[in-house]
C-alpha cells in the first residue's frame, strides 16, 4: 500500500503550488454557491495538480550520455542553426525537437553533465509549439553549456500556443548534472536540443521521451542516426 500511494501521490512542482491553491480556493467557494460549478472546479483542480506533478526519475549516469530534457514526442530531427543569441556560430547542428502537450510532465531536466556558459531569454510570439517556425518566432529561453570533454550543447525552452511563462533556475557558470531539474514551461510547449557536431541522435521522430531518463544521444558512440517505423 505505501508503494502504491507513492505512485499516486506524486510531488507537485513549487511553481504550481500557488495555482493549485487558487484553484482549490475558487472550487471551495463554488461549492458554497452552486454544487454543479463546484464539481467543475474540483475537476479543474485535480487537472491542475496533475499538470504540475513532478515525479522522481531514474537517470542513467554514465559519462557521455545526453538524456531528454522534456517529456513528450519527438516532433522533428533536422539540421538547424542554434539561436543566434547563444553565439555558437552559423554552422548547422542536429536539432531534436520535443513537443509537450498539456498532459505531459512539464518539469524540464538537464541533458548532460557540464557547466552553463550562456543564458538568454527572448520574448516572442505564441504560435503552436509543434510547428517548426516556433523555434524562431516564439518566446524562448536558450541555454548553452559545455561538457567535461569540452563539447558544446544547447537546449532551448520554447513557449507554446497557450504557454505564458517559461521558468528557468539556471545561472551562468553553474555546474550541472544529468537529469537535474532546471525549470518548466506552463501549459503546452517544446524543448529543442542541439547536439555537438558529428553526434547522431539515438531516437527517431515519433518516439515518446521521458525527461531525465530517455537517452537522446551518446557522445562516445560512433553509431549512425537511427531510423524507425510504426508497427
Give residues with Cβ within 8 angstroms of 69, minimum separation 6.
98, 108, 109, 110, 111, 155, 191, 193, 211
**Is 41 in the same domain as 77?**
no
Task: Kindly state whether residue 226 falls inside one of the protein's structural domains.
Answer: no
Do 80 and 18 share a domain, yes or no?
no
Same domain for 69 and 47, yes or no, is no
Cα–Cα distance, 154 to 162 (Å, whole number): 24
What cell numbers appear for 32 in the block? 458554497
Does 45 share its domain with 115? no
What's the whole-model pTM score? 0.88
Instruction: Profile the chain (231 residues) by mean pLDDT over runs of 10 residues.
Output: 57 85 92 91 90 93 96 95 95 95 92 98 68 67 97 92 78 98 84 95 96 96 84 83
Residues of the domain holding 154: 65-218
Is residue 174, in this structure, part of any structural domain at all?
yes
Burial code (b: 16+ CB inside 10 Å, e: under 16) for 111-150 equals bbbbebbbbeeeeeebeebbbeebbeebbbbbbbbebeee
How many domains is the chain built from? 2
Q: Which pLDDT belongs to residue 159?
A: 85
CATH number at residue 214: 2.70.70.10
pLDDT score of 52: 87
Question: Residues 164, 213: one domain?
Answer: yes
Q: Which of 26, 67, 59, 71 is nearest to 45 (CA)?
A: 26
Q: Name the 3-class secondary structure at 118.
A: strand
Cβ contact 108:183 at 8 Å: yes
Q: Which residues are catalytic?
A: 189
* 227 within domain boundaries: no
Q: Is residue 202 part of a domain?
A: yes
Query: Is 59 within a domain?
Result: no
74 and 131 part of one domain: yes
Residue 67, SS3 per DSSP: strand
Helices 14-33, 35-51: axis angle to 10 degrees equals 170
152 and 38, same structural domain? Answer: no
Say yes or no: 19 and 93 in one domain.
no
Domain shared by 35 and 76, yes or no: no
Q: What is the pLDDT of residue 186?
A: 75
Domain co-membership, 202 together with 137: yes
The pLDDT of residue 130 is 53
Amino acid at each position: 500500500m505505501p508503494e502504491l500511494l507513492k505512485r499516486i501521490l506524486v510531488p507537485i512542482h513549487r511553481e504550481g503550488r500557488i495555482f493549485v491553491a487558487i484553484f482549490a480556493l475558487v472550487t471551495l467557494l463554488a461549492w458554497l454557491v452552486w454544487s454543479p460549478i463546484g464539481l467543475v472546479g474540483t475537476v479543474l483542480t485535480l487537472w491542475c495538480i496533475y499538470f504540475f506533478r513532478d515525479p522522481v526519475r531514474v537517470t542513467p549516469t554514465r559519462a557521455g550520455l545526453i538524456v531528454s530534457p522534456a517529456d513528450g514526442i519527438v516532433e522533428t530531427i533536422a539540421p538547424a542553426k542554434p539561436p543566434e543569441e547563444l553565439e555558437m556560430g552559423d554552422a548547422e547542428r542536429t536539432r531534436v525537437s520535443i513537443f509537450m502537450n498539456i498532459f505531459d510532465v512539464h518539469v524540464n531536466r538537464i541533458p548532460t553533465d557540464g557547466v552553463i556558459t550562456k543564458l538568454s531569454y527572448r520574448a516572442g510570439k505564441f504560435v503552436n509549439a509543434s510547428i517548426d517556425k516556433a523555434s524562431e518566432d516564439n518566446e524562448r529561453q536558450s541555454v548553452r553549456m559545455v561538457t567535461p570533454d569540452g563539447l558544446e550543447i544547447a537546449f532551448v525552452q520554447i513557449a507554446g500556443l497557450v504557454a505564458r511563462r517559461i521558468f528557468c533556475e539556471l545561472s551562468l557558470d553553474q555546474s550541472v548534472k544529468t537529469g537535474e531539474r532546471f525549470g518548466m514551461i506552463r501549459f503546452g510547449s517544446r524543448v529543442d536540443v542541439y547536439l555537438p557536431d558529428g553526434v547522431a541522435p539515438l531516437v527517431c521522430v515519433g518516439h515518446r521521451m521521458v525527461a531525465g531518463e530517455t537517452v537522446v544521444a551518446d557522445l562516445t558512440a560512433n553509431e549512425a542516426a537511427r531510423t524507425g517505423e510504426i508497427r
